[in-house]
Amino acid sequence: MAAAAALWRVLLAGSLLAARPPAGAQQSATVANPMPGASSDLLPRFLLEPQDVYIVKNKPVSLACRATPATQIYFKCNGEWVHQGEHVTQRSTDQGTGLPLLDVRIDISRQQVERIFGLEEYWCQCVAWSSSGTTKSQKAYVRIAYLRKNFEEEPMGREVSIEQEIVLACRPPEGIPPAEVEWLRNEEPVDPALDASVYVTPEHSLVVPRARLADTANYTCVAKNMVARRRSSSAPVTVYVDGGWSGWSRWSLCALDCTHWRSRECSEPAPRNGGQECQGAELETRNCTTELCSHPASGPEDVALYVGLVAVAVCLVLLLLVVVLVCCRKKGGLDPDVADSSILTAGFQPVSSKPAKAGTSHLLTIQPDLSTTTMTYQGSLCSRQDRHSKFQLSNGHLLSPLGTGRHTLHHSSPAAEGVDFVSRFAAQSCFRSLPRGAANMAYGTFNFLGGRLLIPNTGISLLIPPDAIPRGKIYEVYLTLHKQEDARLPLAGCQTLLSPIVSCGPPGVLLTRPAILALGHCVEANAADWSIRLKKQSCEGTWEDVLQVGEQPASGLYFCQLEGQAAYVFTEQLGRFALVGESLSMAAAKRLKLLLFAPASCSSLEYSVRVYCLRDTPDVLQEVMQLEKQLGGQLIGAPRVLHFKDSYHNLRLSIHDMPSSLWKSKLLASYQEIPFYHLWSGLQPFLHCTFTLERLSPSTCQLACKVWVWQVEGDGQSFSINLNIAKDTSFSDWLVPDSEAGCPALVGPSAFKIPFLIRQKIISSLDTPCARGADWRTLAQKLHLDSHLSFFASKASPTAMILNLWEARHFPSGNLAQLAAAVAEVGKQDSALFAVSEAEC
């Protein structure tokens, strides 16, 4: 009886093992457990194996298997058996062989795949049983399909001449499955199979080997997969034809004046789409001799005419000499700039640590008024009888207190030019901008007094020092901020744009002293990490390296003072400039400005949060703020700075800590990414990601969450959001209003902090080298500008270069008291430095 019970238990255990998958199933492709007399061809054979599938949005997918002969089929996913209740089984018989046929299907949801997201890929396979053993199917992978919004590289517009090659690059957004790419020309598909003049490379670039006029169009790269269809920005391509001359016509008949001519036309071909006009003359004339023309001999009347003309010319020359002599005598008077020592000291007060008394003016605050011919100053004048005597200002330097008394100084004739100019422009210190608007361009009219142009809220300005424009000339000068796509600045390798692209002009004008262009940059400067170059665009449109920043300039035409947030470019040739950097190590970093914007109010269930990742320069910030102001967005918190390293890692953005009972995110993945190259190149200034949220109830008004922005293996920042979306809030004016941003153009003395006459006295006193060091080199050291003394020394007036740089760095909020203190320290080293001679009185 006991033996029978034991046998029954053995048989029962065998039937259970045949009814469900055994624990610890083997991992080999086919495992046979033969029974006595069993044949190997009775092992299960799969007629249908599971295939790779993609989950689109939230729709579940199905996996199916079919095997014969099979008594059971079960799915195993990522090494774990799928529950029996999730299998849908259908049994039948193969009509041809009579063997049992088994079909099994399971459904896979998005939530199942997301549970192991990031650990490994989700896979499933079938395991079929028969009385002879088991067989495993191939693995089928289940992936969540998506397509990012941003292209890794978009096509750029360009202008090419006819017959040249056109290459439009396109790198589609990241996606699963990988996106297919097609091209549109003016919204019509481009099919290389039908158009032999174009082809598409394996990297998805569209190539036109020989451009035709018909290839002038707007080209768009389109990427699509089963999830979405994305379009790049349109790239306008212009194919132009330079004009060519036709053949010369025949020579005309010889005319009565003994000349004949021939002509040609600029028509083979005619210039098209902005091509250049033909160079040269279209009409040519030559002398000729025939019976129809005559050469009359010179008679007595002609001789008399020539003698009269010579006499008139001699009279004009004599008259001109008389005028020159009179002018020279008038210029023998005193130069008004140094006519009185009180002018030099009128703007200064003694440097003292004690507080100033009531009614006492601050240092460097009085500016001479050149718009009148008579000025009144406080102070004593030198005697004009003893020409050789000298006197010293008290304390032996320029910053001397003025004596008592009241004297009137009359300007002499040499100041007439400056007086006339100031009187004409005194009421026009602020000039209008060109039609593009103050946000992009400003211009003004300047002469030898100099001035300043600035584009409000961008950190971009151009300083034209006094005497940079030759006397007697008036220039109309402009300052322009360019868009990256308009400037066509090529970058190679690890190069990155560090500044805005700025033009000042007109190019080719004569400057006798360097102008100073100020512009922001986003580099975290370290000599060991960066190679920074100043680039200038030539007249032919190519970009050239004109200066290696931080090294001694090869020529005196350019110099760049690089500081923490801005660069100051000295240039004697106006043109289009930009700063381009190349990283020398993976520690090299750029500053990115992070800004969060959201709608000021929301009436629908959807709510969007936009995160901008910008180059940390004021011009880009200005444009984004203006754009969001038009869109009705509000700035959430203060902007943050992120140090983005040259590590080839992308920038990731995610949203967290959002109450799931009130809100849900419509983002398909756990984070968004901006490709490294898009940020590092700097050619796409307004990169951003949008988080689209949905409130579960219309009554939900409060949004509280956190947004994280970080570079993989790098720096990161977080933003806390706590908003009432039902309340219409005003746009956060983080910028200075345009009415308070300053005038785009300042002309003459109003453009400078240092009064003109005091500036001239400092220059004349410090330009001459001094053995005791009381010269411009010490002033540069006091002002922390002594890193490039060789450049200053290469100029005719090193002191003028230092003062010009001080003006560029400290306008409009410069502290003149600090400059005065530095000048005073230099003066203490030589008590005779600022001695005023009788000639200067």
SS3 readout for 124-154: EEEEEEECCEEEECCCEEEEECEECCCCCEC
**Which comes out higher in pLDDT, residue 714 or 693?**
693
Distance (Å, rounded) from C-alpha 346 to C-alpha 368? 9
Residue 414 has pLDDT above 70, yes or no: no
Task: Provide CB contacts within 8 A for 164, sequence distance 6+.
Answer: 210, 211
Determine the pLDDT at residue 131. 84
Q: pLDDT tier at 485 (50, 70, 90 boundaries)?
A: low
- Alpha-carbon distance values, 31 to 76, 130, 181, 614, 641 (Å): 16, 11, 45, 59, 60
Angle at 514 between CA 510 and CA 520, to 5 degrees: 125
Residue 205 has pLDDT above 90, yes or no: yes
For the ranges 155-164, 347-356, 702-711, which has the lowest average pLDDT? 347-356
- Strands 651-656 and 566-571, by their bridges, are unpaired
pLDDT digits (tens, 9 = 90+) for 148-171: 888 999 999 888 988 899 999 999
For the ranges 514-528, 573-587, 694-708, 715-729, which has the lowest average pLDDT? 715-729
**Which comes out higher in pLDDT, residue 257 or 206?**
206
**Which comes out higher in pLDDT, residue 525 or 674?**
674
CA nearest to 545, candidates 495, 583, 587: 495
**Which comes out higher in pLDDT, residue 29 or 833?**
833
User: Mean pLDDT across the chain, nearest whole number?
Assistant: 76
Determine the pLDDT at residue 834. 52
618-654 residues labelled b (16+ CB within 10 A) or e (exposed): bbbbbbbbeebbeeebbbbeebeebebbbbebbbbbb
Residue 796 has pLDDT above 80, yes or no: yes
Q: pLDDT tier at 326 (50, 70, 90 boundaries)?
A: confident
Residue 32 has pLDDT above 60, yes or no: no
Angle between helices 798-810 and 756-766 (to 10 degrees): 140
Determine the pLDDT at residue 362. 36
Distance (Å, rounded) from C-alpha 710 to C-alpha 701? 29
Task: Average the pLDDT over 506-534 and give the result.
Answer: 87
Determine the pLDDT at residue 343. 34
Amino acid making up residue 281: A
211-243 residues labelled b (16+ CB within 10 A) or e (exposed): beeebbbebbbbbbbebbebebebbebbbbbbb
Q: pLDDT tier at 434 (50, 70, 90 boundaries)?
A: very low
Distance (Å, rounded) from C-alpha 166 to C-alpha 236? 12
CA nearest to 677, candidates 475, 496, 483: 496
CB 546 within 8 A of CB 556: no
Residue 621 has pLDDT above 60, yes or no: yes
523 secondary structure, DSSP code: B
Share of the chain above pLDDT 90, in %: 25
Determine the pLDDT at residue 831. 53
- Please give, one letter per residue, the 3-state secondary structure of 532-552: EEEEEECCCCCEEEEEECCCC
Residue 735 has pLDDT above 70, yes or no: no
Determine the pLDDT at residue 791. 85
In 408-472, alpha helices (H):
416-425
**R_g of the chain, CA atoms, integer Å:** 41
Determine the pLDDT at residue 338. 33
Residues in the chain, how many?
841
Determine the pLDDT at residue 22. 41
Determine the pLDDT at residue 667. 81
For the ranges 358-367, 501-510, 807-816, which has the lowest average pLDDT? 358-367
Distance (Å, rounded) from C-alpha 95 to C-alpha 351? 112
pLDDT digits (tens, 9 = 90+) for 353-382: 334 333 333 334 333 333 333 333 333 323
Determine the pLDDT at residue 370. 38
pTM confidence score: 0.53
355 secondary structure, DSSP code: P
Angle at 447 between CA 443 and CA 450, to 5 degrees: 75
Distance (Å, rounded) from C-alpha 735 to C-alpha 712? 32
Q: What are 586's strand-pairing partners?
A: none
Distance (Å, rounded) from C-alpha 834 to C-alpha 398? 5
Task: Provide CB contacts within 8 A for 575, sequence distance 6+.
Answer: 503, 504, 505, 507, 536, 537
Determine the pLDDT at residue 366. 36
| 623 phi and psi angles, rounded to 5 deg | -65, -40
